[in-house]
A and B are shown apart, each in its own frame.
Chain A
Amino acid sequence: MAFGVYSLLEAAVLCLNAVCVLNEERFLSKLPGWGGSHVQGFGEEPGIKTQIFHFIRSVKTVMKYPLIPLNICIILFKLIFG
């Protein structure tokens, strides 16, 4: 059972950490279909793989810097309040 809003926040930060930690050159480039921006047509539905890759790339770009202070806050909170 979920315990409350703070647990939701913690879970969200942990998931975002997991997405941002994926290393670009060691792992993501080796995936088939990763450099997908030049392959896409216009108007047709993009495949599920392309959508997921877009999602990962945008999360890494947007959340890389804000996640650092968020993680620091949560660590301090856990240190102080247990």
Chain B
Amino acid sequence: MDYSMSGARKSRLGQQVRGRKPAGGESRGPGDGTTMYDPQYQQQYDIYGQPVPQQGGPQPQLFEDTSGQAYNNYGNQGYGGGVDYGYPNTRQGGQQGQQAYGAYPGNMPGPQIFQDPMVANMAMQYGQSLASQGREYMDKKIEKYVSTSQIKYYFAVDTHYVMKKLQLLLFPYTHTDWSVRYEQDTPVQPRHEVNAPDLYIPLMAVVTYILVAGLCLGLQKRFSPDVLGMQASSALVWLVLEIFIILATLYVTAIQTHIKTLDLLAFSSYKYVGMIVSLLAGLVMDSLGYYGVLAYCSLSLVVFMFRTLRWQVQGSGGTMEAYSVGNKRRLYLLLFMSGLQPLMMWWLTHHLVA
């Protein structure tokens, strides 16, 4: 949390106490409607349209987080509504409440208490704080098994990146600069760097592969719903095996790399894109289309993997250094990883094409 307050923030907090309704459109910050937020440029403007000096927090903005904001707006609207319109209501509510209170034995405050906007607001804020505490607790627990803070960076993609990456996967021959710019210590978001690995494309590709496999089997009248489950689990098993083999190879040959396991997962799953294209071509023109497109996709993927991994495995750069033994091992590892891809592509799809 960033506890230092700039002058702009102090003025915003001061204005929040008055409980103004938000002016409509998107607003960030305390949600009092005095600042507008332009998500594309990450710049805040106050109500006069002048840019407000923004304080960069310790965490980069990865996603538009609208979850807490909705509650904030709603709570403020409720409070604002109470101030503006609730006054005559509370008078009537008080009168009705007095009559209703008489109906309860022992003068216990019944459900009417929640119509009082003050109590409703307090209850809502209490529920909000409970929910956020629960969420923090769950995040801490899950962080131990699946590092969610690391995974977030892999899903920070946008449409332009996805289009460029898919184009690179199928036609990597004209791209010249494969190096990845690292930002200080944080992992680079794929949104800013085309050559960085991501997990969005692999995830979508795996799911699409399972659906296309179901489609292929259905067209050959070999389909039943449990076949989908079997395809899914066998695809996952082969993925896990492949990653394990690569990790074991990395350990045995004692190569120092920057590659993390999640990067390996991303790179191993890029072949599903080629597999989907080959399967669809195999649907259109039976064996000839399938093998032809499979050969082309394998070649493209091998080139893509080799060029991408050369920058990741070799640390400082793609140039050969004086330490020749390590470089020979790295080269063999690259060739092994790249050559494994077409084999896996063929192995996982040939039974689906008649």
A4/B230 contact (C-beta < 8 A), A45-B325, A45-B326 known: yes
Q: Tell me whether chain B's interface is mostly helix, strand or loop, or mixed.
A: helix
Q: How many of chain B's residues have a CB under 8 angstroms from any CB in A?
A: 15
Do B251 and A8 touch across chains, with their CB atoms under 8 A apart? no
Q: A55 is contacted by which of B234, B238, B252, B351 (Cβ under 8 Å)? A: B252
Of the listed stretches A17-25, A31-39, A46-54, A68-76, chain B binds A46-54
Do B236 and A5 touch across chains, with their CB atoms under 8 A apart? yes
A66 to B298, CA, bound (A): 42
Any chain A CB within 8 A of the CB of B237? yes
CB proximity to A under 8 Å, residues B336-354: 351
| 0/1 string, A1-22, CB within 8 A of B gives 1 | 1111101100000000000000
Do A51 and B240 touch across chains, with their CB atoms under 8 A apart? no
Most chain B CB neighbours (cut-off 10 Å) among A7, A45, A51, A55: A45
Do B234 and A2 touch across chains, with their CB atoms under 8 A apart? yes
Contacts of A3 in B (CB 8 A): 230, 233-234
What is the chain B residue whose CB lies nearest that of A51?
B252
Do B237 and A5 touch across chains, with their CB atoms under 8 A apart? yes
Cβ distance B106 to chain A, nearest Cβ, rounded Å = 60
Do A7 and B237 touch across chains, with their CB atoms under 8 A apart? yes
Contacts of B326 in A (CB 8 A): 45
Any chain A CB within 8 A of the CB of B254? yes
What is the chain B residue whose CB lies nearest that of A49?
B252
A30 to B230, CA, bound (A): 45
A28 to B127, CA, bound (A): 63
Do B351 and A8 touch across chains, with their CB atoms under 8 A apart? no
Do B254 and A5 touch across chains, with their CB atoms under 8 A apart? no
Any chain A CB within 8 A of the CB of B241? yes
Contacts of A52 in B (CB 8 A): 252
Any chain A CB within 8 A of the CB of B253? yes
Do A1 and B252 touch across chains, with their CB atoms under 8 A apart? no
Q: A5 is contacted by which of B233, B253, B325, B351 (Cβ under 8 Å)? A: B233
Do A8 and B240 touch across chains, with their CB atoms under 8 A apart? yes
Contacts of A46 in B (CB 8 A): 254
Contacts of B236 in A (CB 8 A): 5
What is the chain A residue whose CB lies nearest that of B244?
A12
What is the chain B residue whose CB lies nearest that of A46?
B254
Given contacts A4-B230, A52-B252, 8 further A-B contacts (CB under 8 A): A1-B351, A3-B230, A4-B234, A5-B237, A7-B237, A45-B326, A51-B251, A55-B252
Instruction: Give chain B's interface residues, CB within 8 Å of chain A.
Output: 230, 233-234, 236-238, 240-241, 251-254, 325-326, 351
Instruction: Give chain A's interface residues, CB within 8 Å of chain B.
Output: 1-5, 7-8, 45-46, 48, 51-52, 55
The 6 residue pairs across chains A and B that have the minimum distance between CB atoms:
A4-B233, A2-B237, A2-B234, A51-B252, A8-B237, A45-B254
A-B contact pairs, 9 of them (CB 8 A): A1-B351, A2-B237, A2-B238, A4-B230, A5-B233, A7-B237, A46-B254, A48-B252, A52-B252
